[in-house]
Structure 1
Amino acid sequence: MKPPLVLIPGMLSNGLVWTHQVKNLSAGASIQVIEAVQDTPEKMVAQILKRAPPYFAVAGHSMGGWLCLELMKQAPSRIVKLALINTTARPDSDEKRSRRRRLIDRTLAGEFDAIVEELAALFVFDDKVRHEVVSMFQEVGPEAFVNQQRAMLARGDTFFALPHIHVPALVIHAALDENFSLEEHQELSETIPGAKLAVVEGSGHMSPMERPEVITGLIREWLASPSNSLKSLSL
């Protein structure tokens, strides 16, 4: 029986962000992509737990990584492995919260197309995938985006839970990510007992799409490791 793996996309993302990983890891894992588009953290977590297998490895990108940490808080006995990609456990700064509110107001005022282009410019380093990222953002759409921003405004601090995570954990940082810093990912890997840090070179925030082979390889090794035997990596 193949081990179950749940993949959680980030904000404005869907299964397309995990295309390479699903295609190339399905032979060794039973993969389920679960999107979170509800308007509160509680609804998001409840939806994931309702759809997920009884026990599973979980990997999340960006907002999806934060949701992985919420799952670890609320249902630790169901999570067997944890991978966090381009994310943080820290709550938003006042500046970021204000930005989220402005994005909600602008979206409701009909500026979603402009916001998509702005976010793609911020998130994507590799121009070869920018059109694909923009198309995915448009497909997810303004209603889900507003819901997700509202949920993130209501989210709590997950940092205090990190020392209590005792499953094989992998933290992945994209070296050119303008949204989350290397220091934030080092903090994650240093605070989660036994966690390992991988730094992916030549990628912005959308690393599962920008460096798909590298992300897939890291997830494959993490899935195969029976214990925290991974080494810190720079790829």
Structure 2
Amino acid sequence: MSHAVTTRTLGGVRIKLMRGAAPPGGGAPLLFLHGAGGASAWLPFMDRLAQRHDLWVPEHPGFGDSDTPPWLKRVEDLAYYYLDVLAELDLTGVHLVGHSLGGWTAAALAIKDCSRLASLTLIAAAGVHVHGVQRLDNFMGNPEQTLRGLIHDQRIADQLLALDVPPEERDRQLKNRFTTARLVWQPRSYDPYLPPWLHRIRVPAHVVWGEHDRLFPLRIGEEYQRFIPGARLSVLPGCGHLPPMEQPEPCAAAVLQFLASVEGRA
């Protein structure tokens, strides 16, 4: 499916924005917030979502080709930023979907204000800590070790590692890594003050998790489900921390099925 890539100033920040062509008859807006790896490419997972929804995929401030504002210091800053963006674009009835770092951002946003949201989907979201659950530290080790730790099916990891990565994309990856470190370094990838406020999320919520996620194990997804009223949990067998890349079709199908139920189409 065709999509457009533009550079826009939103919320006072110049960012890269990818947008899927709206399906015939429109399609409810879907805002996808990416993880720490950034949003440098349009993925088959995004293509699948854009078949049913008006898909917006912004590259976060501080990531990739987007500018880095001086105020960007916490995940909370990203949450407030996207609240401003939703207001600036005057988007309502939005299905908010976030992966990993983007899932944490989406949860923090929904805690603050659900008025423009129709639903919330968290895919392998950061932000919650469960005492005693061992986690992979993605700031330790070289890039190959990190990627292999994030993906369960090592054949897919082999394919990704075999790709030729141009120098400009390596620069983007390094920028993404620095920005992520600034946002999540301490405490590492969670906010101890987040869980007590998840009850404020008053829209239908869906938690999607890879069964073999080592970065944020499934127990963390179960904790999100426990704290968010009425949340649904979908577990993807044979999948690690990157469902949109490792299992794009099953992940997209789980998301779309939930959104169809929210819209009364299932």
Task: Give your verdict on TM over 0.5.
Answer: yes
Q: Which residue in 2 is equivalent to 1:132?
A: 160
Which amino acid in structure 1 is aligned with residue 147 of structure 2? A
Q: Which residue in 1 is equivalent to 2:30?
A: 5
Determine the C-alpha separation between the residues in 1 that align with 2:180 and 2:173: 11
Determine the C-alpha separation between the residues in 1 that align with 2:224 and 2:76: 23
- Asked if 1:66 corresponds to 2:133, the answer is no
Question: 1:37, CA displacement in angstroms?
Answer: 4.5
Moved over 6 A (4+): 227-230
- Asked if 1:175 corresponds to 2:211, the answer is yes
Which amino acid in structure 2 is aligned with residue 23 of structure 1? D
Determine the C-alpha separation between the residues in 2 that align with 1:91 and 1:187: 9
Higher share in helix = 1
Q: Map residues 123-202 of structure 1 onto 2, 5 A cutoff.
A: 123-130=150-157, 131-132=159-160, 135=165, 138=170, 140-153=172-185, 156=191, 157-202=193-238
Query: What secondary structure sits across from 2:32 in the alignment?
Result: strand
Which amino acid in structure 1 is aligned with residue 176 of structure 2? A
Determine the C-alpha separation between the residues in 1 that align with 2:236 and 2:194: 24
| Cα distance per residue 1:110-144 (max 9 Å; x no partner) | xxxx6322210210122343243785983632122
Which amino acid in structure 1 is aligned with residue 27 of structure 2? K
Determine the C-alpha separation between the residues in 2 that align with 1:25 and 1:146: 29
Preserved contact between residue 211 and residue 236 of structure 2 (Cα < 8 Å): yes
More moved, 192-201 vs 156-165: 156-165
Preserved contact between residue 114 and residue 202 of structure 2 (Cα < 8 Å): no
Structure 1 gap segments, 5+ residues each: 107-113, 231-235
Query: What secondary structure sits across from 1:179 in the alignment?
Result: coil
RMSD between aligned alpha carbons?
Answer: 3.2
Query: What secondary structure sits across from 1:21 in the alignment?
Result: helix
Preserved contact between residue 172 and residue 198 of structure 1 (Cα < 8 Å): yes
Determine the C-alpha separation between the residues in 1 that align with 2:77 and 2:225: 28
Cα–Cα, structure 1 residues 144 and 171, in superposed 2: closer, same or farther, change >3 Å?
A: same
Determine the C-alpha separation between the residues in 1 that align with 2:103 and 2:264: 19
Q: How many residues align?
A: 217
Query: What secondary structure sits across from 1:225 in the alignment?
Result: helix
Structure 2 gap segments, 5+ residues each: 1-25, 63-71
| Cα distance per residue 1:23-60 (max 9 Å; x no partner) | 12223200011222534224423443344443211111
| Cα distance per residue 1:47-100 (max 9 Å; x no partner) | 43344443211111111110011111233212221011112442598xx9xx68
Which amino acid in structure 1 is aligned with residue 177 of structure 2? F
Give the TM-score of the pair, scaled to structure 2. Answer: 0.70
More moved, 26-35 vs 37-46: 37-46
Cα–Cα, structure 1 residues 151 and 88, in superposed 2: closer, same or farther, change >3 Å?
A: closer
Greater relative CO, 1 or 2 (CA 8 Å, sep 6+) = 1
Determine the C-alpha separation between the residues in 2 that align with 1:34 and 1:68: 13
More moved, 137-146 vs 73-82: 137-146
Q: Which residue in 2 is equivalent to 1:44?
A: 78
More moved, 59-68 vs 133-142: 133-142
Match of 2:113 among 75, 92, 98: 75
- Asked if 1:209 corresponds to 2:245, the answer is yes
Determine the C-alpha separation between the residues in 1 that align with 2:48 and 2:114: 27
Match of 1:57 among 69, 74, 95: 95
Q: Which residue in 1 is equivalent to 2:13?
A: none
Determine the C-alpha separation between the residues in 2 that align with 1:151 and 1:81: 25
Query: What secondary structure sits across from 1:77 in the alignment?
Result: coil
Preserved contact between residue 88 and residue 188 of structure 1 (Cα < 8 Å): no
Question: 1:15, CA displacement in angstroms?
Answer: 5.1
Cα–Cα, structure 1 residues 203 and 189, in superposed 2: closer, same or farther, change >3 Å?
A: same
